[in-house]
């Protein structure tokens, strides 16, 4: 049945609880894209046939394939966007440096998207929060981030 692979990758993501990021299912995505290509090509030839030979009985099949294409697109977009949302939540939690085991599960474009987005966020934060000389603020904030990442330890003296 069409769109099964698409549902499978979404289910796989859904199965991992909130806040966890499984490995990027490159193979799954590739299979869905291939299915989409096949459906599209079949539709193209059917559309040509329907037009040139007036075979209107092909139209329901064409519509059906189009629905499958839309569903596959929607599933892929949902899968990718949900991953982005999870990464974003992790980013808010961990700050600018994500633990290596999480980065391991991200694909190259996700890292690039994160970096662009991340740089801007830091800039934005810098502009808004540190505009009027907050020397005390920055070190404390940086320390807090680093403490959460396990790089620094808070010593009560």
Partner 1 sequence: ISDAMSDDHDASDMSGGDDGQEDVMTPSELIRKLEEAWLNEKFSPELLENKSERVECVMEQLTHMEANLQRVRKGDMKASVHRMEIDRIRYVLSSYLRSRLQKIEKFFPHVLEKEKSRAEGDASFLSPEEFAFAKEYLANTETYLKAVALKHMPPNLQTVDMLKAVPEPCLDSFVFLRVRARQENILVEPETDDQREYVVDLDEGSQHLMRYRTIAPLVSSGAVQLI
Looking only at residues 21 through 40 of this chain, which bind partner 1 when binding is defined by CB under 8 A? 29, 33, 36-37, 40
Number of residues in contact with partner 1 under rule CB under 8 A: 34
Q: Quick one: how far is CA 85 from the chain centroid?
A: 7
Six-digit token string for 109: 């474009």
Residue 142 near residue 130 (C-beta atoms within 8 A):
no
The reply to whether 121 sits near partner 1 by the rule CB under 8 A is yes
Residue 48 is a binding residue for partner 1 (CB under 8 A): no
Closer to partner 1 by Cβ: residue 54 or 127:
127
Residue 113 binding partner 1, by CB under 8 A: yes
Is residue 138 close enough to count as binding partner 1 by CB under 8 A? no
3 state SS for 26-77? HHHHHHHHHHHHHHHHHHHHHHHHHHHHCCHHHHHHHHHHHHHHHHHHHHHH
> By the 8 A CB rule, do 87 and 103 touch?
no
**CB within 8 Å of 3: residues ≥ 6 apart:** 35, 68, 71, 72, 75
* Binding residue (CB under 8 A) for partner 1 from 10, 21, 69, 90: 69
Q: How far is the CB of 110 from partner 1 (least distance, A)?
A: 7
Structure token pair of residue 111:
């890292």
Smallest distance from partner 1 to CB 86, Å: 13
| Site residues (vs partner 1, CB under 8 A) | 29, 33, 36-37, 40, 69-70, 73, 76-77, 80-81, 84, 88, 92, 107, 109-110, 112-113, 116-117, 120-121, 124, 127-129, 131-134, 136-137
């Amino acid at each position: 049945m069409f769109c099964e692979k698409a549902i499978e990758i979404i289910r796989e993501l859904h199965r991992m609880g909130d806040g966890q990021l499984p490995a990027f299912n490159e193979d799954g995505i590739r299979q869905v894209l291939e299915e989409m290509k096949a459906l599209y090509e079949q539709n193209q030839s059917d559309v040509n046939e329907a037009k040139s030979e007036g075979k209107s009985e092909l139209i329901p099949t064409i519509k059906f394939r189009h629905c499958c294409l839309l569903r596959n697109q929607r599933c892929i977009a949902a899968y990718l966007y949900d991953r982005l949302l999870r990464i974003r939540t992790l980013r808010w939690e961990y700050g600018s440096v994500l633990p290596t085991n999480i980065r391991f599960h991200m694909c190259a474009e996700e890292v690039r998207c994160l970096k662009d987005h991340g740089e801007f966020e830091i800039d934005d934060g810098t502009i808004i929060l540190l505009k009027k000389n907050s020397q005390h603020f920055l070190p404390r904030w940086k320390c807090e981030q680093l403490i959460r990442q396990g790089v620094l330890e808070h010593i009560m003296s």
